[in-house]
Amino acid sequence: MQHEPVLAKIEGLKDQMTNMLSQLIRIPAIGPENGGEGELKKAEELTKILHSIGFDKIERNDALDPRVPSGKRPNILAYYYGENKTETLWIVTHMDIVPAGEESLWTMTKPFEPLVKDGKLFGRGSEDNMQPLVGSIYAVKALKDLNIKPKRTVALALVSDEEHGSDYGIKHLIKQQIFHKNDLVIVPDGGNETGDFIEVAEKTILWIKITTSGKQIHASTPDKGLNAHRVGIEYATSLDKLLHEKYSMHDELFDPPVSTFEPTRKDRNVEAVNIIPGEDVTYFDFRILPNYDAEKVLADAYALAHDKENRTGVKIKIEKVQETIAPKPTSPDAPIAVMLKETLEKTRGFKTRIGGIGGGTCAAYFRKADIPAVVWCTVDEVAHQPNEYAKIRNLVDDAKIFALMASS
């Protein structure tokens, strides 16, 4: 196949891609854990777009979830059949996004009012994950517009619930046996500014909720109560120090090359300044190198909590919020890794790097199911930040890579 017509066609679709990205940013798709209604409205809009492009087959495989108004979390599968129907290239992106966060920090535009400026498209979800989602759709559109039948079937999976564990998204689809051992899977949900980094491994993810229970009292009489907030702070600080010192191994495959143990969310406790809290809730986000056993890390947290209880009289409850045990990495010699490496180096003229990350993606669940998967896209890594943006050049150029991988 001649590459030049495909590359030129995608370049000519730049304005359409930008408009579609803007259109999707205007439709929030936030999970119920963060007070949202889920992905249905965005899925319905995307289904219309996919039908207009003319995929050979479009289907929904929804997961039931009574926490959202529709009672379901949508997952869209769209197929463009290739010459070899026994080989499928999957491009897996997610429809859900994280909340906007503190809106006062959005200085360029409001989170769901897209703005194009200086070659960037600002808005929540622009980079994570609408940029590659739109790019994957237009990679197929370019091939169809040129009447090019790809070498292999290219299939898009637009999934729900990636931001909060994937139970209603990719894990649901894997249980439905949608995918096969010889499938080629790329998850464009992580990368770097140059696009030369291919991710083949992830750390174990463990989120915990720590509830410290004491006795609420007026702040002027602290001796009559038990300050859960103070003990909660002390425990969190001690846990942070213990884990970083004990689990300090370096593995240069990963960036960063160490396990991380970060205190993150802090739930509201009391309404007034002059009330000593009787309950305090905080959360940690652990990203643990595969060299370590997550259960041993958790056991250390329990032991430290027990010691703190004995010395202070408070009760400390630790709950798992999310856990994804790191699966075996994808081999750099796996067909999907080799294909992506060769396409990038031939098209962009640089040497690629192979490595692991601390972030969690859908690729981990494929690897756990013994289906090799790689993570790749070209991004500035501004996901989840105020003023999140996608570079329009990255949007277009990554769509070219997707199209070439389907056809080469």
> Which residues are marked as active site?
96, 162
What single letter denotes the amino acid at residue 57?
Answer: K
Tokens of 19: 């408009």
What single letter denotes the amino acid at residue 16?
Answer: Q
The Cα–Cα gap between 396 and 18 comes to 9
User: DSSP letter at 30?
Assistant: B
Strand order in the sheet with 120-122: 115-117, 120-122, 389-391
What single letter denotes the amino acid at residue 79?
Answer: Y
Tokens of 13: 């679709």
User: DSSP letter at 187?
Assistant: E
Contact 163/317 with Cβ under 8 angstroms?
A: no
Per the listing, tokens 């229970």 go with 213
Distances (CA, A) of 213 to 229, 282, 331: 9, 12, 47
The Cα–Cα gap between 10 and 6 comes to 6
Tokens of 284: 């940690």
The Cα–Cα gap between 243 and 374 comes to 30
Q: Strand locations in 310-387, DSSP E? A: 315-324, 353-357, 373-375
Of 288, 295, 232, the C-alpha closest to 261 is: 288
Q: Which residues pair with 58 in a beta bridge?
A: 78
For residue 311, what is the enclosing H or E element? Answer: helix 294-312
Per the listing, tokens 């809730």 go with 281
The Cα–Cα gap between 163 and 169 comes to 10
Contact 258/268 with Cβ under 8 angstroms?
A: no
